[in-house]
Every structure is written in structure tokens, then in C-alpha cells.
Amino acid sequence: MVGADRDKAAAAVKPYTTVWKPQPGPQTDLLTCPASITEIFFGGARGGGKTDGVLGEWIAHASRYGKDAIGLMIRRELTQLVETIERSRVLYTPLGARYTTAEKMWAFPNGARLRFAYLERDADADAYQGHSYSRTSRRPAHSQASGQSCGCRPHCGPAPACQSVW
């Protein structure tokens, strides 16, 4: 390329915006998880960045696997998803992803999909039997005795080999 052609090519490349950056520590560890690790227990106090870490890691996963990136983020109650969905809007909208409220699902331009679901009862999980996800994330209920969370449990592994286990 010479002169004007190089300038046109440079102008055609859209500058990127960083929508999320992992905090040092557990979020960075989550992003550098080797593909051979199939489960990660990501615990800690409320407000420590667990959910944000999972949302941010999804960006890398979706980018890497495209249409083979199929995720499911589960919470016990719908109300627990409200702020998570709002945070995902901040992160995913600038990336060109589209959110469908009725399906509670993000669809990315490269075909990646992330769905939000809530399971009020353990029996609700039956609706997901046989589904194949490249990532799942759930936040177990807080222990009533200790008041401590069991943490977040995303599955880490190459798509589409990793499936949900109920």
C-alpha cells in the first residue's frame, strides 16, 4: 500500500473502545483461566466484582468462539438479574450486541448468545436438560447459617465441549 491507499485503509479501521477491563486478582485470573480447567469457584462478598467478572469474561469468550459461544447466567430470582442485565447493557451495547427482553438474551454480531434465566425451584432446571452451553454461571443461594455465599460457578472450557451439569 502506498500513500493515499494506506490512509484510506487506516481511516476504514474503526477505533475500538474498551468497555471493560478486569480488576487485578480474581477477575484477571478468570480471564486467564486455561481451557483445561472446567470449573471455577469464584466467591467473595457482595460487590466484589464476581458478576462483573463473568460479564466481562463473556466478551472474551464470545469474541473467541463466535456462533459457538452459547451462555447461560442463572440466578434464583428474577429480581437478582435486574442489575446484572442493566450492567450488561453498558458493556454489550457498544459492541453491537442486541438484547431481546422477552427472551432475556443477548445476540452478538458474530452469532454468540448469552441468556439470563432464573430458577425459583430446583425443578425449574429440568427445562434446561439436554441444552448445551459453552459457559454457564450461577450464584448459589447464601448459606442461612453462615450468611456467606458459596460463590459463582462459571464453567471454563472450549466451546462447544463444555456442557451444563445439573
Query: Any idea where the domains of the chain sit in the sequence?
Result: 39-166
The C-alpha cell of 132 is what?
448445551
Instruction: Name the DSSP letter for residue 152.
Output: B
The C-alpha cell of 71 is what?
451462555
pLDDT at position 18: 85
Question: In the chain, which stretches have pLDDT less than 50?
Answer: 141-166
Q: At what angle do helices 50-65 and 79-92 cross, to 10 degrees?
A: 50
pLDDT at position 9: 53
- Going from the C-alpha of 30 to that of each of 23, 98, 101, 143, the distances in angstroms are 10, 25, 28, 24
pLDDT at position 2: 57
pLDDT at position 163: 32
pLDDT at position 95: 94
pLDDT at position 34: 80
